[in-house]
């Protein structure tokens, strides 16, 4: 029976997890808040530089330990299948912990944690299919091939919006390849990651393959990403933090994968089905209270269908059931942080000042106590120059821009520093594919939105990041490529001339 039930965690201070065991730290406690009440519900630990050092060393010794280094790829896959089964029987418990911690609705967290076994099994199946290539070099009697190897110790730094899913999309390929990991979850939502760690023991992973340190970004986070014992940094979070991580990683020349913020365009053409398109736009911005990296927060609607679709979006926004995240009927829960509530307020005020017209919301529900709730908010008459169309808000705020031609639309949609995702609603396949070709976004959805898959590469362009997670691409992201040349001619060559092919 796990000690990490929701009730068991209440008011306790959580340990970190190093070398296969939960350990206490001398670090200060940090309150973790329940966004539904605005009150602290447990404490995590601000791990010290010593804790971080121990965790990296534990990951390093696990990397060299025959119990991990020398097991076959099929055995790694078997451990991962076992972990998948164990997670599957813990979905409800983990989902309740994460909902308490970040305020996202229980149905959403259940779906995300319910997808973790699928992710683990997908990469478990890959563990014994990671291959190099044979290269027919232009030299007789020479064999040239490549090996895909584990990269080593990987630091995974995760955000608060979907902590466990974000962890596992990186952890699963790391395990399949044979890396070891130190994870630093967000100080705002660490409990789920701590609770997950013991499942690694239960599945039979050797000690030190996964380690968890908690704490603030500028203490535990900095200590981790500047640690010289890392071979790779994998960061998911905001673009500003991503820049700091990249600068710090550069000091040690540690390669870094960055999955960052977005300001994704969601386009509705005049030939779209207005009901399906409005439903897609609503889902793109109001699901998870807009706290998703792929939130379709800039909406472009063709002038001839604009009013009809706006009416539908506003009507749907008005029908959204706002309430406690663990209520099965709730569609929109609280925001995860009080600072996010303030940020939304600032964007709403600025949008009004800059001339956007408020079509729905803009305030906070009055009947939900001290919880960090905000109303689903829709602005029309938005232009690309307004702040509401430029910066990531990470809240339920939609800005709608009217457009008239396809050429104008492409220009507007690409007029952003971000390049994470994009969506288009149209029944014209030629137009859809022209959009797909011209849009600067790493993920494009046609007549759907917010439909990722662990099997499908995901990752942004421009300020949205530099890497790919999910699918075969993740194996490349978390492995290193070694080239081997074998001369089987038996000949002795000129010692002073490079054997370059002419």
Structure tokens at 492: 């002795």
Nearest distance in Å: CB 421, ligand NAD: 9
Number of other residues whose CB lies within 10 A of the CB of residue 364: 16
Cα-to-chain-centroid distance, residue 418: 15
CB 363 within 8 A of CB 402: no
Q: Which of 42, 47, 293, 299 is catalytic?
A: 293
Q: Check residue 241 for interaction with ligand NAD (CB under 6 A).
A: yes
Q: Check residue 103 for interaction with ligand NAD (CB under 6 A).
A: no
Q: Print the binding letters for residues 460-489 with ligand NAD: x by CB under 6 A, - otherwise.
A: x----x------------------------
Nearest distance in Å: CB 310, ligand NAD: 26
Comparing CB distances to ligand NAD, the nearer of 236 and 426 is: 236
Dihedral-angle region of residue 178 (phi above 0 means left; psi in -120 to 50 means alpha; beta otherwise): left
Contacts with ligand NAD in 162-201 (CB under 6 A)?
A: 166, 184-187
Comparing CB distances to ligand NAD, the nearer of 212 and 351 is: 212
Contacts with ligand NAD in 206-225 (CB under 6 A)?
A: 217-218, 221-222, 225
- DSSP letters spanning 389-420: GTS---SSEEEEEEE--HHHHHHHHH-SSEES
Task: Identify the sign of the CA torsion 115, 117, 122, 126.
Answer: positive
Comparing CB distances to ligand NAD, the nearer of 77 and 185 is: 185
Those residues with Cβ within 8 angstroms of residue 396's Cβ, 6 or more apart along the chain or in another chain:
285, 286, 289, 290, 332, 344, 361, 374, 375, 376, 377
Q: Check residue 260 for interaction with ligand NAD (CB under 6 A).
A: yes
Nearest distance in Å: CB 459, ligand NAD: 7
Q: How many angstroms separate the first and last alpha carbons of the chain?
A: 67
Nearest distance in Å: CB 42, ligand NAD: 17
Tell me the residue number closest to ligand NAD, measured at CB.
217
Contacts with ligand NAD in 414-433 (CB under 6 A)?
A: 420
Please select the residue that binds ligand NAD; options are 35, 117, 178, 237, rule is CB under 6 A. Answer: 237
d(CA 123, CA 80): 8
Residue 259 a catalytic site member: yes
Element of type H or E holding 73: helix 73-88
State the catalytic residues.
259, 293
Instruction: Kindly list the residues in this chain that would bind ligand NAD in the complex (CB under 6 A).
Output: 157-161, 166, 184-187, 217-218, 221-222, 225, 236-238, 241, 244-245, 259-262, 293, 392, 394, 420, 460, 465
């Amino acid at each position: 029976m796990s000690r990490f039930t929701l009730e068991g965690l209440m008011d306790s201070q959580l340990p970190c997890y190093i070398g296969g065991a939960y350990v206490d730290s001398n670090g200060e406690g940090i309150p973790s808040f329940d966004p539904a009440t605005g009150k602290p519900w447990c404490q995590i630990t601000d791990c010290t530089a010593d804790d971080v050092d121990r965790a990296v060393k534990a990951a390093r010794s696990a990397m060299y330990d025959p119990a991990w280094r020398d097991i076959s790829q099929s055995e790694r896959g078997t451990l991962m299948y076992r972990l998948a089964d164990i997670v599957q029987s813990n979905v409800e418990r983990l989902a309740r912990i994460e909902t308490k911690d970040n305020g996202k609705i229980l149905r959403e967290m259940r779906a995300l944690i319910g997808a973790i076994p699928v992710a683990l099994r997908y990469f478990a199946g890959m563990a014994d299919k990671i291959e190099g290539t044979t290269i027919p070099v232009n030299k007789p009697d020479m064999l040239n091939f490549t090996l895909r190897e584990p990269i080593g110790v990987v630091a995974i730094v995760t955000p608060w919006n979907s902590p466990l899913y974000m962890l596992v999309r990186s952890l699963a390929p790391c395990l399949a390849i044979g890396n070891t990991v130190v994870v630093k979850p967000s100080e705002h939502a660490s409990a789920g990651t701590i609770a997950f760690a013991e499942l690694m023991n239960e599945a039979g992973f050797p000690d030190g393959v996964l380690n968890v340190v908690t704490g603030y970004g500028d203490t535990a986070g900095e200590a981790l990403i500047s640690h010289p014992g890392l071979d790779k940094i994998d960061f998911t979070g905001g673009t500003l933090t991503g820049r700091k991580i990249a600068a710090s990683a550069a000091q040690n020349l540690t390669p870094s994968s960055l999955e960052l913020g977005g300001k994704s365009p969601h386009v509705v053409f005049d030939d779209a089905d207005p009901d399906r398109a409005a439903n897609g736009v609503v889902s793109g911005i109001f699901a998870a209270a807009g706290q998703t990296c792929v939130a379709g927060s800039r909406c472009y609607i063709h002038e001839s269908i604009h009013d009809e679709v706006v009416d539908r979006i506003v009507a749907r926004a008005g029908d959204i059931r706002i309430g406690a995240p663990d209520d099965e009927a709730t569609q929109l829960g609280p925001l995860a942080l009080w600072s996010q509530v303030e940020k939304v307020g600032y964007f709403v005020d600025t949008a009004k000042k800059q001339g956007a017209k408020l079509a729905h919301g803009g305030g906070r529900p009055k009947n939900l106590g001290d919880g960090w709730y905000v109303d689903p908010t829709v602005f029309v008459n938005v232009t690309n120059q307004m702040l509401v169309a430029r910066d990531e808000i990470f809240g339920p705020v939609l800005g709608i821009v009217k457009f008239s031609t396809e050429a104008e639309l492409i220009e507007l949609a690409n007029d952003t520093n971000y390049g994470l995702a994009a969506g288009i609603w149209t029944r014209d396949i030629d137009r859809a594919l022209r959009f797909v070709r011209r849009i600067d976004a790493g993920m494009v959805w046609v007549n759907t939105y917010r439909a990722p898959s662990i099997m499908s590469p995901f990752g942004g362009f421009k300020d949205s990041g530099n890497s790919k997670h999910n699918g075969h691409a993740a194996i490349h992201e978390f492995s290193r490529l070694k080239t081997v040349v074998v001369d089987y001619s038996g000949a002795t060559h000129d010692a002073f001339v490079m054997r370059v092919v002419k």
